[in-house]
Structure formats: C-alpha cells, structure tokens
Chains A and B, each alone.
Chain A
C-alpha cells in the first residue's frame, strides 16, 4: 500500500517539477550535491491519461533489465532505446527465460578451450543485476567439494542457451550468504533434469532456512535483515551493534525511493515501445516450457 501511494506521488512529483521548469537546470542551493531532475518528456502527444493498467503485472519483475538504471548521470534515452532494440533482437534468437534469485539454472556457453567447444554449468542464481545489455546474474555450485561461482552476462553472444531447471524464489533478494553456508545448500547435480510447473501458476517460494558455517564470514550477516537464515547463534553484543547501525527511517524516505525508481510514465512508455514484441517474448517463454512432454512438479 505504501509503495502504491509512493508511486502515485512520484507521478505527480515529476509533473509538478516539469511545470516548474526545473528540467536540466542545476540547483544552486547550498548543498554540495546538485539535485538534477530530468525533465518529463511526453513521447505521445494526445493521451494525457497514461493507462497504467496496460502494463502487465509481471513486466517489472520478469524483464527487469528493460528498465534503465535510475541514476540521472547515467541516463541517455537514445542509448536506452537502441539497447532495447538490441535486447529484443537477441531474445528473438535465444530465449532468455524468466528466473529469480534462488532458481536453479543451466547455462551453455561457447568456450574455445573446452572439449566440444561448449561448456555447461549448472548452479543456483545467487544474485542478479545490471540493466540493458549489461544485465548479469551469478550462478553458484559446489563441484567436487569446491565452491564455484560464475558471472554470466545475459545478452552475451557467447551464451548458447540459458535453461531454468527449477523456477523458484527464496526469502531473500540476494543469496550471497551461501558462500558462508554449509556446502550442501549450494550443491546441485550437473545433470539435473528440468522441473516444470503448471503454466499460469505463481512462482513457488522456497522457505528454506540456511545454516551458516562458524565465523569468520564474508559479511556481517546479522546486520542484513535476512529471512532465509537459521538462528546465527551469535553473542548478544553482535545484535546490539547491529541495532546501532540500523536505519529504520529509510523505508519512509520518499526521495530515496524516487531516486531508485523509474517514474510510472516512463515505465509505461518503455512498455509501449516493447509491447509489439511482448507476445513474442511470452510465446518464446511458453514454447521453452511446452517443449518438454511431462509435467512432473509435485
């Protein structure tokens, strides 16, 4: 509810700022950081009321790399438009499936040094990021008692095939704590068969709680508010220090959320741009699912 209200306010904020004519002009206030606000430019002349309902619910979640990085210094609308065209062209050749952090995936890449010139790696997606053509994800697996992670750029032409073997979400947005967890939580067989789910069914959430190895860890996991961990078993002083570093006011920071999101109107513009190809994107996703004959998800 909070996020919805905040989004409505973001909508009116951009229009108000546009009417004030603040676009592009540097803010000559006393603060060190100039507040640069991009002007709102209408891409379509006539319709004043942009219909938010046209955007499918899953667009922002399934294709997050189509939305650009909100940082104003890095925005370039022409480059973003060209990137989206290239992304759609690449997706027409190689289907990039829907996946989330916590899904188990198999990626085949062209590798001149590997036998047969292709190399396949299976692992759990522990992190994803990047926007546009630079979108990436990291797969982790434990092979022969050795933890291995590989970063894949989704739109790299070296990638032959990306396959989701188990589509599921976890309780956290990033699973970097698997580096400090017991190895069985990151071990997946390399010859794993894909597990299918019913078409149209919601993405299952795995409520698995992971047990960590004894300290030292790579990061202070007690400060990260992670849901997918078993009780860390740390002395009380760790949790007291974690409380000192907490920032409970951040969730009420409206400008922080504004800076971290693309306004609704721009999202609608972007979706309108790719909507002729949206059916093709959806169809390629469904085709990849239908190619297998059995549905074995229990």
Chain B
C-alpha cells in the first residue's frame, strides 16, 4: 500500500520552490473553451448530439476572456461560426445570473441567429448589451432577443 503523504509533500515543496502559483478554477471563457449551443439550429443540435460541442477559437474583445453578451468565434463541425455568449459558468456580480453551463447562440455576420428559437433562459442584461453592440448600418445583434422564450 503506497503512502501518499510524502509524495504530496514533495509536490507541494517543488511547487513552492519553483515559485509556481495555483488558484481555484475560475471557469473563464477563453480560446479552446467548449461551449454549449442553446438554440434549435440544425448545426448546433447535431454538434451537441454527436458529443463534439463547439470550441471557442476567438473572442471579439480586447480582453482574453469572454463574458456574458460577448461575440465569439467558434469551431463547430469543421466550420467557423460566430456566436453570442448568453450565459457563463463563472461567478458573476450581484444580480447577474450565473448558469451551470457556458451557453451560446449561433449567429451569422449580420447578427441573425441560425436557429428559430432559444429554449433556455437568457439574462435580461442582454437587452441592453446587444443594443450597445449593434451598429445602425452594421450588424444587428438584438435579433436573438426576438427568438428567446424566457428571460431571467
């Protein structure tokens, strides 16, 4: 029977001496994060069903991490698609809902959603954030609010 304690102590000592810092998982959304598609688009449904959820490959913001309402580029079934983050698993500020999974809604370049309905709840703050993101002569990201069924 192996005695685990001296091995654990050795690992802790090596980490400390090497100056490494470990922290609790922050569950942030960054490149290569696997996301969950919550709309009823064919692409999203088939990707989730076959067990290969989309991976985030780029976040359209100056920060390396994605937060609720950010536009991201995902790799899904060999294609590149844009998506909006509608729910994050990361701990949120007060009054902001925290979801059990990192949810996205697939969109095209004009902001039109690929699916026809979003069957899961989305936060009310998206009403404000997506209007802010949209440009009068550019993409209109508020179209996904029209297909949402429940706000939280």
Residues of A within 8 A of B (CB): 109, 111-115, 119, 121, 136, 143-153, 156, 158, 179, 241, 244
Contact = CB atoms under 8 A, between A and B. Distances in A.
A151 B92 contact: yes
B120 A144 contact: yes
Given A121-B97, A148-B121, 17 more contacts: A111-B95, A113-B124, A113-B128, A114-B151, A119-B151, A121-B152, A136-B94, A144-B149, A146-B120, A148-B98, A148-B152, A150-B96, A150-B98, A152-B95, A153-B94, A244-B4, A244-B5
Contacts of B125: 113
Contact of A147 (B94, B99, B126): B99
A212 to B, nearest CB: 14
Contact of A149 (B98, B101, B124, B127): B98
Nearest to B126: A113
Contact of A151 (B95, B99, B101, B119): B95
- What is the predominant secondary structure among interface residues of chain B facing chain A? loop
A146 B87 CA distance: 10
A156 B94 contact: yes
B117 to A, nearest CB: 12
B100 interface: yes
Interface string B35-59: 0001000000000000000000000
Nearest to B151: A114
Given A148-B98, A151-B92, A156-B94, A143 B121 contact: yes
B27 to A, nearest CB: 9
A236 to B, nearest CB: 11
Contact of B97 (A113, A144, A150, A179): A150
Contact of A111 (B4, B124, B149): B124
6 contacts: A113-B127, A136-B94, A146-B87, A146-B100, A150-B97, A151-B92
A158 B4 CA distance: 51
A147 B124 contact: no
B150 interface: yes
A145 B152 contact: no
A201 to B, nearest CB: 32
Contacts of A241: 4
A158 B150 contact: no
Most buried by B among A114, A143, A151: A151
Contact of A152 (B94, B119, B127): B94
Contacts of B95: 109, 111, 150-152, 156, 158
Nearest to B122: A146
Given A113-B128, A151-B94, A146 B4 contact: no
A264 to B, nearest CB: 33
A136 B92 CA distance: 13
Nearest to B95: A109
Indicate the member of A143, A144, A146 with the most B CB atoms within 10 Å.
A146
A279 to B, nearest CB: 31
A143 B100 contact: no
A58 to B, nearest CB: 27
